[in-house]
Structure 1
């Protein structure tokens, strides 16, 4: 029987997906890139889960999805899966949060960015007059920490749950595309409360749970643990806020993609998904692109997508679904306020 919901403690309502360690290892470290690396990943997953299988289950009362076992990926997992994550410079939630922050706080305020990547959001704050000395970040990646240090911002390569802020407390705390990677909510929110001022703001962005369901229903990339171990909706954020004594000030979805945007996304996403399946055109293209680097590597893959009937079929399927019910937003944003 799957474990009870991490938010409400109720038994799960049903199983969304189930994966073996071998399937997940192939997904995160394709055998095209080397058998030894894939075998190492499979061993990591066995240790992490204590079994050969992980499930994604749902809690209908919370509108929440979670991994069972509910165990986040370790540093060992991420170092093997993506040693240098390509952080995007711009995200919808950056601009959205900046507008809210500018309305509520002055550039003299303090802010902690948890899992700050390469500091692109912090850089935007500094461009708006925020003092680097009033900012702080956590980030595990070496490249991210170095980029944040160049901004003049203190960065700690540590889990926020064990962060020693030296007595500092912050007017605002941000977590962009971080919460879905984490387990242990009691410890997380205890740390956030310790680091937050009495009336602090908490801004969070996660993948939209309905988008994940849309992708999987249409044969695109699955959302496999232990990379993401939770699936969020506005209702689950309300449960989360209530549980930990915060007020949910707002919960908004990123603007939906256009039908054309969905078609392109569907083609590329399906091609990547098929690259993990033996005997497919996508797998052959990925294997053939290995000797090349940079733009040539990307060009070979782009040609592979353009000549893939399966990718074109997915583009048509996703575009039809978007035209019928509207495009599905990729990101979900929440603004929580701590009670004074």
Structure 2
């Protein structure tokens, strides 16, 4: 019974397991990219030290996690997603900016961990922070070039390592949007966040809403597959790890449910889940050479299958107060 990384409870329950082949198919279509698919399957077996990975859940804090609790590294992401894309706007961006407007940010420093192409930083530059006071971190080389072209001070190291900006109290604000769910060694992460924060500093974190994740998995939509996402954070899990590190969970909110956005995402995600099944028609279409015709074919099939989603949509509408996409928290350094 693996120990919960968030609260330390030694008794956790296994929900299900995934195989290396199943996980690989979630990221790479073997018909479309057979060589990359084989390499990824082999890499996952080596990463886990076996051919399967369990998904477990803590009964105390509700934290869900991959077991082995090991994050994907550069090799994984180069195989699984060599050409990442980043949305220009997210709910958590707007919610964070709303909170920043209530704070005095003049002359303060901020760093965005996992900044992508800098879309969030573009929103706060010259509005909340001076450009010279903004720093950015991202592993991806293309993202680093994009950030540097915008004038941001950019780093590519690991937040948890001692050689990463080794100045105690370097930042007033730290942003981590859709990053923390990818990370292992979570106690090292929080220790480092506290180290890097100035007195009375704050961290803003957004992760996938774990209730939405379980909805998807229970209703034939996408599995939140490791080792991409390895942690399923809850308010209670955040509170536990904050208290352990002398930080305070000040605000925790879920993204509001928007029906049209939900329907668009659910139609796509449920099609992609079907396309992961070996030998299925959806897998065949998904594996055709990339072209405009292939994209149209996928869209037509996804729409044609959408009436089968009506029971799942009925459930979602009945539970809409908890099924927004993101969970957002503000964490404060109190000493």
TM-score of the pair, normalised by structure 2: 0.94
1:267 corresponds in structure 2 to 267
Instruction: Give the total of aligned pairs.
Output: 332
- Is the CA contact (8 Å cut-off) linking 2:71 and 2:184 kept in structure 1? yes
Deviation of 1:8 after TM superposition, in Å, equals: 2.1
2:311 corresponds in structure 1 to 317
Q: Distance in 2 between matches of 1:7 and 1:261?
A: 31
Instruction: Summarize deviations over 1:268-293 as a string: whole Å, max 9, x none.
Output: 111111111123231122123x241x
1:255 corresponds in structure 2 to 256
Uncovered stretches (5+) of structure 1, i.e. residues with no partner: none
Q: Distance in 2 between matches of 1:241 and 1:331?
A: 19
1:333 corresponds in structure 2 to 328
Q: Distance in 1 between matches of 2:270 and 2:132?
A: 44
Q: Distance in 2 between matches of 1:333 and 1:95?
A: 11
Q: Distance in 2 between matches of 1:312 and 1:32?
A: 27
1:59-78 correspondence runs (5 A) = 59-78=58-77
Q: Distance in 1 between matches of 2:129 and 2:285?
A: 47
* Alignment of 1:298 onto 2:299: no
Q: Rate the CA distance shift 1:261–1:247 in 2: closer, same or farther, 3 A.
A: same
2:171 corresponds in structure 1 to 170
Q: Distance in 2 between matches of 1:262 and 1:305?
A: 15
Q: Distance in 2 between matches of 1:7 and 1:129?
A: 32
Q: Rate the CA distance shift 1:86–1:190 in 2: closer, same or farther, 3 A.
A: same
Instruction: Summarize deviations over 1:15-73 as a string: whole Å, max 9, x none.
Output: 11201112111222221223221111111111111111110100011111111111011
2:139 corresponds in structure 1 to 140
Deviation of 1:246 after TM superposition, in Å, equals: 0.5
- Is the CA contact (8 Å cut-off) linking 1:285 and 1:304 kept in structure 2? no
TM-score of the pair, normalised by structure 1: 0.93
2:156 corresponds in structure 1 to 157
- Is the CA contact (8 Å cut-off) linking 2:199 and 2:333 kept in structure 1? yes
Q: SS state of the match for residue 160, structure 1?
A: coil
1:286 corresponds in structure 2 to 286
Q: Distance in 1 between matches of 2:106 and 2:124?
A: 8
1:184 corresponds in structure 2 to 185
CA RMSD of aligned residues (A): 1.7
